[in-house]
Amino acid sequence: MEPPYYNKTVEETFEEAQTSPSGLTSVEARRRLSIYGPNTLEKGTVINPFYVFLHQFMDPLIYILIIAAGVTTFLGDWIDTGVIIAVIIIDAIIGFSQEIKAEQAVSALKTLTAPRARVIRNGHVEEVSGEELVPGDIVLLASGTRVPADLRLIESIHMEVDESTITGESLPVKKDTAALSVKGVAIGDIHNMAFMGTLVTSGRGQGIVVATGTKTQLGSISVEVARVKKTATPLQDRLSHLSSRIGIAILGLSIVAVALGIIIGERLIDMLLTGIALAVGAIPEGLPVVVTITLAIGVKRMADKNAIIRRLPAVETLGSTTVIASDKTGTMTRNEMTVVRAYAGGRHYRVSGVGYSPDGEILAEDKDDPRNNKALEMCLRAGLLANESDLEFDEDKKEYFPRGDPTEVGLIVSAMKGGLSEGQERVRYVELDELPFESERMYMASLHKDPGGEGNIAFIKGAPDRILGMCDRAMSDEGEEVEVDKGQVYSIVDSMGAEGLRVLAMAYKKFPPHITGIEPEMLSDGAVFLGLQGMYDPPREEVYEAIRQAKMSGIRVIMVTGDHKATALTIARKLGISGDGAALTGQELDAMTDDELYEAVGRVSVFSRVSPLHKLRIVQQLIRRGEVVAVTGDGVNDTPALKAAHIGVAMGKSGTDAAKETAEMIITDDNFASIFAAVKEGRVVFANIRKVVLFLLSSGFGQVIFILATLAMRLPLPLLPSQIIWMNLVTNGLQDVAMAFEPPEKGIEYQKPRPRGEPIISRLMAERLVVIGVVLALGTLAIYTWELERGVSIDKARTAALTTLVLYQLFNVFNARSETRSAFRMSPLSNPFLFFSIVASIIAQVAAIYWEPLQFMFRTTPLELADWLVIIPVAMTVILVVEAEKALRRLIKKG
């Protein structure tokens, strides 16, 4: 097998690509275009909008709603029919628009390809369409250019490329042309290639096209995005399962009711109407509406906490998340390089403060005053002046804003903490010349007039081994030049590196006044070593608490980053993600089978130097283990994993269009803490959905038992079809919606995530549903038979039974507000919408009993005071029984 292009020399690449420095001829370019095809990305499967719209109706709950619409039409209840049909159509339109938008993720990838490219063809420079590039083309790159294909670089002049959309690494990568000797290198470590979709941030260069279209790194990602199957959310699975079971149960019970009625001598037409009405009463037709409203409320609450939800089911999915696989840079960290350690004049220092604010100080480990160390002052000055970046202060916002490379800005901030003023230093040390950083040199230098001497001085900063190679002396803390102990310095560099710090060394070299320009050979020796500065990207303060709470909630946090292993582990330890130091690199993942990775993701929480496909594999194996996975991302490299996860979380500030289009949720402040805040809201949403389900099904179950019991006892029909419809309107019309506004119960964020396979109706709910249903049925049956035994009219008995059921269900609302807490410990006004909806329902029921137009419509008769004195206490038994059951469960749990 041929070695990859990054292992080939420039000459070997020319030979392999069958091209030359003068480029391809137009004839050859056309020939290759016919062979390799256009330089475009995977378009994926063509979406049929008509099929997508029809697909919205393929859901068991929608089937139930359609049946309910047919039933209400049959009964002539045109208002209910219109409402149900409107709900069906609105849900279909929302689902259609969301699904179409989700599939635009692949299209968003195409925006990263360059529409035009400058190439060498026929021996001179031409500009061609990016789609016409072919392997063997020579492409010219300059600052600001979007790389149009995968290129093996043949020339690199001060060139740096932002590869964050591919690798996730925050800092620009310095490019060179030297062949790499190692195979299986992570993308972020391939310094002699430029990849499609990345951005040249500085310098210029040339490269040979070695891959186009779907053969590029970006292309392989687009193929994965198009082919990855979206995982159904837990809510979708549970609702589908619940709806199917409800539909079958209701159909069976309705058939039993009709059969019983016919057996006892009721007319067939009456029993058919009763069976249909019973189905309408038992079907929780309000459930899809309430679920949508509950999710919408969750969306609003999350938006207030910097989380924008693009797909409603994602709200609940967050609440059942068991694993969050998150990026490091900018999500868990501030994306602001900060100097935290310094070494100069033989002494060690800690630097306080984080980010780009100069609030902080330099503290000596030996408690001595840092201002007494001349070497430290010069070390800080070198970092400040050998610098191409700036730190600006906005007077209006009272904030500092970086301009340039984050590492260089970090050096400016450390100098300011040491008492140096950027403006004053640049005035005192007038710059004469500069050697910009080049990857071949691994340092940069600037020449200045020395205000304290008769000549000029060059300040140098760069890689420690390169700087030490220039130095034969070092500055002591008293400002004297002494022999440099390189072994000791290398030991300190290793110590800082083990902490995950990026270490830079500083030095200076003096020149006579007539030297006003510098060249690399002038700095090769004779320099004076000044010291070291170690920096890292600090974690966000609020992330510490968010991860601690996530652990308490049973949510595991995994770091998946493009950064180096040492850096990732340092941040992971500080945040409490990894205590055992276990981490896997992308290179190690390449050597693992899926089964080996399946075992590894169960114990390893830090993955470094990962590629897009590595991240996808990690997510897939977590899902295979039964985890409910939320994954964060901001670049094109993240889109396959975002789509494969149960919920993709894109970054709002740094995220690409492709990531945002693919994700279900967007974090506007790019902060991990906002993700956990959204998790809490997701749990509240699911808890409220469960409350609605318990309320609706327990009430419907009680109705069914009551009617079946009366039929079995060969009693007259206890409720007419119109009365059943009225009861559902007055008890479910507002209360189920109002319960969507229930505030979160205390401590909900610390509950363990629900098991993936746990149904919406838990065992506790099922048991309580039976208890409530039996209480409702027995109490109403007692009132009905009592009225009949008193010799009242059948209409009066039915009115009493109807009123009892209505009050039962209104009292039952208070039971459903919490699975464990006593209803008497929850303020009725904590959910004012619910409280006033109950008041409105009571008024409506009283009107149905005493207002003649409604009496005529529903065949009710007025109740006397004696009736109310019996009905109200009986209806209140539902609260007393459930309170006793809750108290018993609490005692059992304590014991």
Which has more confidence, 56 or 505? 505
Residue of 91, 137, 150, 327 marked active site: 327
pLDDT at residue 161 in the model: 86
Specify the range with the lowest mean pLDDT, choosing from 367-376, 673-682, 722-731.
722-731
Sign of CA dihedral 229, 235, 241, 247: negative
Report residue 853 as tokens. 């137009």
C-alpha dihedral (58, 63, 64, 66), degrees to nearest 10: 130
The pairing of strands 399-403 and 390-394 is: antiparallel
Which has more confidence, 128 or 316? 128
Specify the range with the lowest mean pLDDT, choosing from 312-321, 503-512, 872-881.
312-321
pLDDT at residue 151 in the model: 95
pLDDT at residue 82 in the model: 63
Q: What is the mean pLDDT of the chain?
A: 83
* d(C-alpha 440, C-alpha 653), whole Å: 33
Angle at alpha carbon of residue 623, lines to 620 and 628, rounded to 5°: 135
Reply yes or no on whether the pLDDT at 234 is more than 60: no
**Mean pLDDT computed over 594-613:** 89
Reply yes or no on whether the pLDDT at 752 is more than 70: yes
77 is a catalytic site residue: no
Reply yes or no on whether the pLDDT at 505 is more than 70: yes
Q: What is the pLDDT of residues 198-224, one digit of tens each?
A: 888 777 899 999 999 888 888 877 666
With both helix axes pointing from N to C terminus, report the angle between 268-282 and 721-732 in degrees, rounded to the nearest 10: 10
Reply yes or no on whether the pLDDT at 765 is more than 50: yes
Q: What is the pLDDT of residues 641-691, one digit of tens each?
A: 888 888 888 887 766 666 776 788 888 887 888 887 888 888 888 888 888
* Amino acid identity at 151: L
pLDDT at residue 229 in the model: 54
Which has more confidence, 334 or 52? 334
**Mean pLDDT computed over 616-638:** 85
**Mean pLDDT computed over 721-730:** 76
* d(C-alpha 607, C-alpha 622), whole Å: 13
pLDDT at residue 772 in the model: 93
* d(C-alpha 839, C-alpha 824), whole Å: 18
pLDDT at residue 274 in the model: 66
**Mean pLDDT computed over 729-733:** 75
Q: What is the pLDDT of residues 814-865, one digit of tens each?
A: 998 888 888 888 888 889 988 998 999 999 999 999 999 888 878 899 999 9
Q: What is the pLDDT of residues 129-170, one digit of tens each?
A: 888 999 999 999 987 778 999 999 999 887 888 887 677 665
Reply yes or no on whether the pLDDT at 258 is more than 50: yes
**Mean pLDDT computed over 462-483:** 93
Reply yes or no on whether the pLDDT at 726 is more than 70: yes
Question: How much of the chain, in percent, has pLDDT values that exceed 70?
Answer: 84
Q: What is the pLDDT of residues 285-302, one digit of tens each?
A: 556 666 767 776 777 777
Highest mean pLDDT (candidates 434-438, 603-607, 731-735) = 603-607
Please check whether residue 385 is in contact with residue 446, taking contact to mean a CB–CB distance below 8 angstroms.
Answer: yes
pTM: 0.62
* Amino acid identity at 133: L
Which has more confidence, 77 or 715? 715
Sign of CA dihedral 689, 690, 693, 699: negative
pLDDT at residue 690 in the model: 84
Reply yes or no on whether the pLDDT at 343 is more than 90: yes
Which has more confidence, 422 or 83? 422
pLDDT at residue 77 in the model: 59
**Mean pLDDT computed over 585-606:** 92
pLDDT at residue 110 in the model: 43
pLDDT at residue 624 in the model: 92
pLDDT at residue 277 in the model: 58
Q: Read off φ and ψ for residue 415, nearest 5 degrees.
A: -65, -40
Question: How much of the chain, in percent, has pLDDT values that exceed 90?
Answer: 34
Residues whose CB falls within 8 Å of the CB of residue 671, separated by 6 or more in sequence, listed in order: 306, 331, 540, 542, 543
Report residue 278 as tokens. 């019973």
Which has more confidence, 42 or 242? 242
Of the pLDDT bands very low, low, confident and very high (cuts 50, 70, 90), residue 232 is low
3-state secondary structure 647-708: EEEEECCCCCHHHHHHCCEEECCCCHHHHHHHHHHHHHHHHHHHHHHHHHHHHHHHHHHHHH
Which has more confidence, 41 or 71? 41
Please check whether residue 759 is in contact with residue 244, taking contact to mean a CB–CB distance below 8 angstroms.
Answer: no
